[in-house]
Structure 1
Amino acid sequence: MLVHPLPDLPASLYMEAFGHSLLLFSLYFLSHFSSALSNLEAASITHRQLVALSEKGDIPDDDDDFEIDVTIVNPRLRRAYVALRAWKKAMYSDPHNFTSNWIGPDVCDYHGVFCTTAPDDPSINVVAGIDLNGADIAGYLPPELGLLTDVALLHINSNRFCGILPQNISRLKLLHELDASNNRFVGPFPDVALRLSSLKYLDLRFNDFEGTLPSTLFDKDLDAIFLNDNHFSSQMPDNFGNSKASVIVIANNKIRGCIPSSIGEMAATLNELVLMNNVLSGCLPPEIGLLGNATVVDLSWNSFAGVLPKSLEGLTKVEQLDVSHNLLTGVVPGTLCRLPTLLNFHFSYNFFKGEAAECVPMSTKSTAVVADKSNCLAERPTQKSAKMCAPVVSRPVDCGRSKCGSSSSSSSPMKPVPKPSPKPSTPPRSESPVRRVRSPPPPVYSPPPPSVHSPPPIYTPRPPVQSLPPPVYSPPSPSIRPPPRPIHSPPPPGHHHSLPPLPSHSQALPPVGGLSYASPPPPFNPGYD
């Protein structure tokens, strides 16, 4: 089990808990591993970071307080040199020698480091961006990273950085993009990200963050929020709809409660919403139909009940609509299946008792790919039995009377309904975790094969990178729901480097969701324009 040290406890407590022998033991393995990072090693790296944060405290503002053995006239590059030297020391494994040239005073020549003229002083160069994507580096983030005050882009995805995001990075007032995905970060939601005044792109997926989603996250002026595949477990904040993001992916967590009615306030900006595989419940709010600009809406693998609101007809630009694996009932209206841009509509594994002719798979009245299996549809193949359907169909939920509880409440006054079949649990992290490199997927899902339950769409496989392994499941029994599809979201923009191929420990999974996000260009031109 992964140890989650608490960042607010004194580092001395961790030193006592781990002991010097553990540090020596971990050091030996960290110096010899090539691609695997065990939970013990991750915990040791986290401990070392907490000790460093405790010993160093805040970093000074005066350049003269930093003693370095080289001469760098430009004070801002001097501070960058101090930060990058400290970061290099905090790296315990660099199997592809990505940072092998991080030596000497010329930081602008360091691999993955990008310089340009300062926006406030064209006469000097500054470090404007750092991109270590896919380097498979193991280590932690030192407090000295707060010295990189000119950085507008920080990409460290698909590595093995452990511990927490240090509070000192709140000094990066120009930081526009933060991609810390596909690592081993732990602890509560990193509130330091909320204090980055220029941040637009936040990517924390595939880590071990846990606890509550802060409501202030959705008040921040972000354009993209990727939080999928963590352990967040709070209710969805009531101000969820305050977000102006174009892409929000919070899939594969444990978010509970209802979708707040404030979701309608996202109408002007939201393009893609992926909430699949949480524990959300209640009726779908009518306000969801106001998302007229959304092209992807994926609410599958939750416990939504009641009927589909008529307002869903307002999703006039939706291409991918997925409400499968819920407790929905009623009739699937033909107006949904005739939406002008709809390509795929999945409503399998619910309790629908009727569907319009346009919604029957392979119907000539609709051009969309439709999936309707495991419902309560008469004269359709692969449906639930009458015994399974009766308890839900005979006791429909009155969505007009149900109220979605506030983010502080723990229950909803809706009528009780049978719980859905349990989802298979995600297997624990292996000692050689593998995650995936992100690459832009094709724009549509492939039709599901008729003999497989809840199949993933078929895409060109992507090369895997060291991180979490894709879940491996045995074929489910008729009463167990098959595993949800994996979530994919697009790579961040900016410079990317050719790396030696990483060792593959499993087959890459096809991506889903997050199909079209593109954030602003990286700040490598004069003035960061």
Structure 2
Amino acid sequence: MTTNLSFSTAILLVIVSQSFFHNSLTCYAFSHDKTREALEIIIGGGGYASPAQPPECPPPPPPPCLPPASPAVQIKPPPPPLPPSQPPKPKYTPPSTRPSPGIEDPSGIKSMKYFATVIRGVGKKIGYDPQHITDSWTGDNPCTFKGVVCHQFMNRSAVVGVDFNGNHFNGYGGQPVDLNIFLTQDQDLMFFHANSNNFTNLPNNISKLHYLFELDLSNNQLNGSFPKDVLKSPSLTFLDLRYNKLQGAVPPEAFTIYLDVLFLNNNNFSGNLPDNFGKLRALYLTFANNFFTGGIPSSIGNCSETLVEVLFLNNSLSGCLPYEIGKLKHMTVFDTSINKFTGPIPHSFGCLKNLQLLNMSHNYFYGPVPEMVCKLGNLERLTLNNNYFTQVGPECRKLIMSNKLNVKMNCILDLHDQRTPSECATFFSQHRTCPNERSLQHIPCTIENAETTSMEDVLRPAMAPSPTYAALGIHH
């Protein structure tokens, strides 16, 4: 059957067909540069460019080496330990015998038939299929099933992906459909996209999927604690668990794997963000709309080479912001709105030269708004309303005039739409301070944008849509 693939998935399949299949090729190795470019993301569909094609491997020695028991995962302990400079590089030797040209591998045929049997069994548990996807799930060739993606490797076909996005599968009587059996039956699976269904129960042995790099189970019925076994998948780079019913703390292990994307918003997660937060090398993070408490760990500054967007909005986070946030030189979107943060804006925010969206509204921040923040050359929107800021300078006032800065409901006496004097007096009557308050004046960079902002800069076109803000919406 013909299945439309995302650009990145199509590229991946071409590369894989030339360089990777554990039953057919001489060797396989992932390569990953230390510095990763921000990749275009198609929310809910992965949308990642595949790893660069590895160099051609020389032929194996006469007696082929035995394959390792399991892929060598060069990942150091969770978030605390630094991840390897390159992703895991599992190596596989070719099988001792290969099928003759034009002859199908009998073991491959058997595996495909077994997978077809498994998926037909899943189909029998689906009582609601509004798009009649399961009507095509007949016969012994799963490559003809709607939602199953196959690719030709040498002389055989293999199932490499599943795309059930938006199918709205439901069990009989509205019961969720169990993934425990289905998801681990094809060890060659590279992506599993199943958002907006009624699936539950991730399998414990999902780590057997050595090549799985994208897992999207958003907007389903996953419950219980964070599925830690998912973190054992050695090739995983995209993990989307938003809009489920997961609860409890996010384990430190989640911050040590080599993810590009981690979407956890709109669950029931709680507890503190772990101290090893800075070990994560993700580009895009969403923690929004949960019940996290405590502060943002200062180790976030260790994400300076990777982190592009992060959303902390609508939790119960508190305390003062660490100055280390100013080290995030690739940061474009930073949102701490609707929490319990307090203290001044760290002067280090003036180092965020790529920052486009900064939202700190609905907190307890106070003091003057730093002029160096309002001078940031790429800033498109600065949202500071519903705090207790007391002063804005001329650069910030330019942004107010252009509707790029919102400082309503603060304590700025000469502006309209501010808090009442009595409300401000009550707030400031309480002694407020931050630990290491002197660090909030530390600037970990050379401020090159000391010149004033022109109105031409202020009025330039708006930025492109944000992947993390897009992740706040439900798939339909």
The answer on 1:280 being equivalent to 2:279 is no
Output one character per residue of 1:134-153: Cα deviation in whole Å (capped at 9) or x when no partner: 11111231414211111101
1:244 alignment counterpart = 281
Correspondence for 1:151 among 189, 192, 195: 189
Match for 2:426: what amino acid? Answer: P
Correspondence for 2:213 among 164, 168, 176: 176
Q: Distance in 1 between matches of 2:363 and 2:109?
A: 59
Correspondence for 1:226 among 258, 263, 269: 263
Q: CA contact under 8 A between 1:80 and 1:107: conserved in structure 2?
A: yes
Give aligned-pair identity as a percent.
36
Match for 1:81: what amino acid? Answer: A
1:108-257 matched pairs, under 5 angstroms: 108-118=143-153, 122-138=154-170, 139-161=177-199, 163-257=200-294
TM-superposed deviation, 1:340:
0.7
TM-superposed deviation, 1:205:
0.3
TM-superposed deviation, 1:391:
3.0
Change (3 A) 1:76 1:379: same
Secondary structure at 1:233 match in 2: strand
Q: Gapped runs of 5+ residues in structure 1?
A: 1-70, 404-441, 446-456, 458-485, 497-501, 503-529
Output one character per residue of 1:251-302: Cα deviation in whole Å (capped at 9) or x when no partner: 0000100100000000000000111001110000000010110110011111
TM-superposed deviation, 1:361:
6.4
1:82-481 matched pairs, under 5 angstroms: 82-118=117-153, 122-138=154-170, 139-161=177-199, 163-360=200-397, 363=400, 369-395=404-430, 397-401=432-436, 443=463
Change (3 A) 1:384 1:488: same
Q: Distance in 2 between matches of 1:77 and 1:491?
A: 36
TM-superposed deviation, 1:170:
2.4
| Corresponding pairs, count | 342
Q: CA contact under 8 A between 1:143 and 1:169: conserved in structure 2?
A: no
Secondary structure at 1:184 match in 2: coil
Secondary structure at 2:205 match in 1: helix
Q: Distance in 2 between matches of 1:274 and 1:280?
A: 12
Correspondence for 1:488 among 454, 457, 470: 470
Q: CA contact under 8 A between 2:250 and 2:269: conserved in structure 1?
A: yes
TM-superposed deviation, 1:186:
0.9
Q: Distance in 1 between matches of 2:111 and 2:379?
A: 52
Change (3 A) 1:239 1:344: same
Change (3 A) 1:130 1:355: same
Q: Distance in 2 between matches of 1:72 and 1:270?
A: 44
TM-superposed deviation, 1:87:
1.9
Q: Distance in 1 between matches of 2:109 and 2:204?
A: 26
Change (3 A) 1:170 1:91: farther
TM-superposed deviation, 1:382:
1.1
TM-superposed deviation, 1:77:
1.2
Change (3 A) 1:329 1:257: same
Q: CA contact under 8 A between 2:400 and 2:406: conserved in structure 1?
A: no
TM-superposed deviation, 1:490:
8.8
1:10 alignment counterpart = none
TM-superposed deviation, 1:354:
0.9
TM-superposed deviation, 1:73:
6.2
Q: CA contact under 8 A between 2:358 and 2:382: conserved in structure 1?
A: yes
Secondary structure at 1:81 match in 2: helix
Match for 2:130: what amino acid? Answer: P
TM-superposed deviation, 1:396:
5.3
Q: CA contact under 8 A between 2:409 and 2:419: conserved in structure 1?
A: yes
Q: CA contact under 8 A between 1:87 and 1:142: conserved in structure 2?
A: no
Secondary structure at 2:358 match in 1: strand
Secondary structure at 1:74 match in 2: helix
Q: Distance in 2 between matches of 1:491 and 1:349?
A: 24
Q: Distance in 1 between matches of 2:214 and 2:463?
A: 24
Q: CA contact under 8 A between 1:361 and 1:371: conserved in structure 2?
A: no
Match for 2:325: what amino acid? Answer: I
Q: CA contact under 8 A between 1:245 and 1:270: conserved in structure 2?
A: yes
Secondary structure at 1:277 match in 2: coil
1:26-41 matched pairs, under 5 angstroms: none
Q: CA contact under 8 A between 1:345 and 1:368: conserved in structure 2?
A: no
Match for 2:155: what amino acid? Answer: S
Q: CA contact under 8 A between 1:251 and 1:487: conserved in structure 2?
A: no
Q: Distance in 2 between matches of 1:291 and 1:368?
A: 26
Q: TM-score, length-normalised on structure 2? A: 0.68
TM-superposed deviation, 1:398:
2.4
Match for 2:294: what amino acid? Answer: G
Q: CA contact under 8 A between 1:228 and 1:251: conserved in structure 2?
A: yes
My pick for the range that moved more, 134-143 or 314-323, is 134-143
Secondary structure at 1:245 match in 2: coil
Output one character per residue of 1:457-501: Cα deviation in whole Å (capped at 9) or x when no partner: 9xxxxxxxxxxxxxxxxxxxxxxxxxxxx9532999xxx9xxxxx
Match for 1:95: what amino acid? Answer: P
1:54 alignment counterpart = none
RMSD (Å) for aligned C-alpha atoms: 2.6
Secondary structure at 2:206 match in 1: helix
Match for 1:338: what amino acid? Answer: K
Q: CA contact under 8 A between 2:323 and 2:348: conserved in structure 1?
A: yes
Q: Distance in 1 between matches of 2:290 and 2:316?
A: 8
Output one character per residue of 1:372-421: Cα deviation in whole Å (capped at 9) or x when no partner: 00101102111111221123334453224479xxxxxxxxxxxxxxxxxx
Secondary structure at 1:234 match in 2: strand
Q: Gapped runs of 5+ residues in structure 2?
A: 1-105, 171-176, 439-461
Match for 2:413: what amino acid? Answer: A
The answer on 1:77 being equivalent to 2:112 is yes
Q: Distance in 2 between matches of 1:180 and 1:286?
A: 35
Change (3 A) 1:73 1:178: closer
Q: CA contact under 8 A between 2:310 and 2:334: conserved in structure 1?
A: yes
TM-superposed deviation, 1:368:
7.0
1:13-24 matched pairs, under 5 angstroms: none
Output one character per residue of 1:92-141: Cα deviation in whole Å (capped at 9) or x when no partner: 211211221011111101111111134xxx22211001001011111231
Q: Distance in 2 between matches of 1:382 and 1:323?
A: 18
Secondary structure at 1:78 match in 2: helix
Change (3 A) 1:271 1:381: same
More contact order relative to length (CA 8 Å, sep ≥ 6): 1
Match for 1:342: what amino acid? Answer: L
Q: Distance in 2 between matches of 1:238 and 1:207?
A: 25
Q: Distance in 2 between matches of 1:334 and 1:255?
A: 31
Q: Distance in 2 between matches of 1:92 and 1:187?
A: 24
